[in-house]
Amino acid sequence: MSVWVRDVEVEPRPRATARRRGPNALQRRKQAEIEELLEEGRRRIGALSEREFLVAGAALYAGEGSKSDGRLAFVNSDPRMVLFFCSWFRRFFEIDESKLRFRLYLHEGLDLGAAMAFWSEVTAIPVSQFGKPYRAAADPSIRRSKHPMGCGSVDYYGTRVHRAVMGVVHALLEFPLALPG
């Protein structure tokens, strides 16, 4: 408070209670467009063939996966992405399920037990194969929204399997593309 006005008494005015309004015309148009384009996306993608599933998983891993030799790690907070990766990984590579691990990053104050049960169901990795979770202290200056179930990392150690995954990733990235211009 300024030194100039620190002694001025201020009578707080009661706030009028705001009435709850529905979405305005712009919000309704935005929502209609989102729904229309989601449906269009579903029509355009359709059902994935085996080959398309392999290619999509390779692209996903190329963008989100670890590239260090001998270790696969896929990190994401979106359960759909993690489920897609786990399904792809199990479908196209010979893996030892006992070598699958899951690590959880979860803000303090959020329910650790619920998050672990949630990710175990998504990944089909038993909680007994989860590593020690990382509990982050909430810092409102960095982020206001927190993922209620945290962010997870699916890990697998195996040089041959990692090299097989990187083989399909490299095959995808070496595909000749015509750049516009």
More confident residue, 108 or 101: 101
Is 139 a residue whose pLDDT tops 70?
Answer: no
In a domain, 117, yes or no: yes
The pLDDT tens digits for 14-46 are 776 667 788 898 999 999 999 999 999 999 999
The pLDDT tens digits for 111-127 are 999 999 999 999 999 99
Minimal CA–CA distance to 133: which of 153, 107, 104, 101?
104
In a domain, 14, yes or no: no
Residue 98 belongs to what domain range? 70-137+145-173
In a domain, 58, yes or no: no
Residue 69 confidence class, pLDDT cut points 50, 70, 90:
confident
What sign has the CA pseudo-torsion 177, 160, 92, 127?
Answer: negative
In a domain, 121, yes or no: yes
Average pLDDT, the chain: 89
Pair of tokens at residue 124: 């089909």
In a domain, 76, yes or no: yes
Is 165 a residue whose pLDDT tops 90?
Answer: yes
Looking at the structure of the chain, the number of domains it has is 1
Residue 148 confidence class, pLDDT cut points 50, 70, 90:
confident
In a domain, 99, yes or no: yes
- Contact (Cβ atoms closer than 8 angstroms) between residue 153 and residue 102: yes
Q: In CATH, what number is assigned to the domain containing residue 112?
A: 3.30.1330
In a domain, 168, yes or no: yes
In a domain, 62, yes or no: no
Distance between CA atoms of 2 and 69, rounded to whole angstroms? 61
Angle, alpha carbons 98-53-102 (nearest 5°): 30
